[in-house]
Amino acid sequence: MAELYSKPVRIDPYRLRLECRGQMVTDATIFASEAINLEPDAVHQLCDAACLPPAKKVLATADIHVGFGVPIGAVLGLDGAIMPPAVGYDINCGMRLLQTPFHKGDVDTDKIAVDIAREIPLGEGKENVTLNKAGIEAVISKGVSSVPELARTTSHRAWEAFDPEQFADDLRRIEENGCLPADPAAVPKTAIQKGMNQLGTLGGGNHFIEIQYIQSILDPALAKSFGLSKDQIVVMIHSGSRRFGYEIADEYMNVAARRPENSGRPKMLSYLPTDSRAGEDYIAAMAAAANFAFVNRQIMALLVRRCFNRMFGPTPLKLVYDVTHNMAKLETHGGARLWVHRKGATRAFGPGQMAGSLFAQTGQPIIIPGSMGTASYLLVGTGDSDESLNSVNHGAGRVMSRTAARGKGRRGRTAGPGLISDEQFRRSMEGIRLIAGDRSKIKEEAPDAYKDIDEVVRIVVECGWAKAVARMVPLAVLKG
């Protein structure tokens, strides 16, 4: 959209400014160091977002890379508007971290990984928990609070690991306590149909389950408050709302594109006024997808717990936190009420904003994965991040496209070589057990296709937005 793109101008070691020019209605900021590669197309997409009439604040974290319309890693503060493309197709894709009572060397992590892969379907189009109409409406309306009801009314092995006391503790450790106000009537029928049997599945792409160990403790006091210690085994789950969320996103992107205020605007840059019926419906449907995703990760956590229980007897796997990174929420920043869209970005509230929760003293936990073969981090928000709308990056961010990493394919055959060789991929995963749902696409997720997670997290910490608690590295990786 932008006729004249603003060029990034570095204003300090961690900030670049895109000045308002051409059709832009606001400046934009990119939080990145000199070491971070910036794709010109991703920068152009950020300028496009800054051209939107309701845009009041536009920024990108260090993991910025090209997305559909709006770059991944973007944070948009919109006034009176909700934008489906700025949330994305995988609504409430998010992270969940479970701690175990074991330490590196105590358990056979390869064996556990294989067992988990038997319990949780990996890859696209897979099925697991089957719901009836009442069941999926309960998930949509109640989020994670629907799980006890599902355990009573449906038959599935996941419920073998359900424990009421553990469940009550889980609820307090999920963003929004695992439920947003939703309306089943706003959900397209196609989403209902697709979601009836997809709970408890991982999905494809960059979704994963990792068995990790804590390589280093970066803040001993905070780590102790979470019950974490060096060499401790943890399990990280990364997944979202599956095809249920995709159908909702696709439907409302089409609705937005047809509206008069978006005439002449590309579909992937279309928005909905929040005071319109369509805007209200999308907000309610988005919340339904968020609730579905929260329940999806809860069920996968139950299946992981079931695996540990079967292998070691009753084993407490305490939830550290469950956080979303593809959502829009109405928040107050600088005295203004804005719809804050985090597309591939994570909320980073400080202690004050977490008042009344378990995290009123520590700040909100933030889970930032790298890539398979590299590290992941646990951080906590400081509350000193209003410049980023209390947001941080959701991961390392890609440095090359999936096609570039894997190579071009044609009818199941390689038509052009990828930038990552088989040997390069093998070396990057040395010492890590890899279980992949689709081996033909696995190089898309190679560590070398991603930015340096240590540098990306360093920027967050140096900007003062979060404190680093622990650095984890994988022992076993399950990928879709």
Q: What is the CA radius of gyration of the chain?
A: 21
Catalytic residue among 65, 207, 341, 394: 394
How buried is residue 315: exposed, middle or buried, by Cβ count under 10 Å (0-12/13-18/19+)? middle
Q: Which two tokens stand for residue 42?
A: 């991703």
Q: Is 325 a catalytic residue?
A: no
Please say whether the beta carbons of 363 and 355 come within 8 A.
no
Phi/psi class of residue 221: alpha, beta or left (left: φ > 0; alpha: ψ in -120 to 50)?
alpha
Q: Which two tokens stand for residue 53?
A: 């009439």
* C-alpha closest to that of 24 among 38, 7, 43, 5: 5
| HEC assignment per residue over the chain | CCCCCCCCEEEECCEEEECCCCCCCCCEEECCCCCCCCCHHHHHHHHHHCCCCCEEEEEEEEEEECCCCCCEEEEEEECCEECHHHCCCCCCCEEEEEEEEEECCCCCHHHHHHHHHHHCCCECCCCCECCCHHHHHHHHHHHHHHHHHHHHHCCCHHHHHCCHHHHHHHHCCEHHHHCCCCCHHHCCHHHHHHHCCCECCCECCCCEEEEEEEEEECCHHHHHHCCCCCCEEEEEEEECCHHHHHHHHHHHHHHHHCCHHHCCCCHHHCCEECCCHHHHHHHHHHHHHHHHHHHHHHHHHHHHHHHHHHHHCCCCCEEEEEEECEEEEEEEECCEEEEEEEECEEECCCCHHHCCCCCCCCCCEEEECCCCCCCEEEEEECCCCHHHCCEEECCCCECCCHHHHHEEEECCEEEEECCCCHHHHHHHCCCCEEEECCHHHHHHHCHHHECCHHHHHHHHHHCCCEEEEEEEEEEEEEEC
Q: Which two tokens stand for residue 316?
A: 């407490």
* Cβ neighbour number for residue 355 with a 10 Å cutoff: 11
The catalytic residue positions are 394
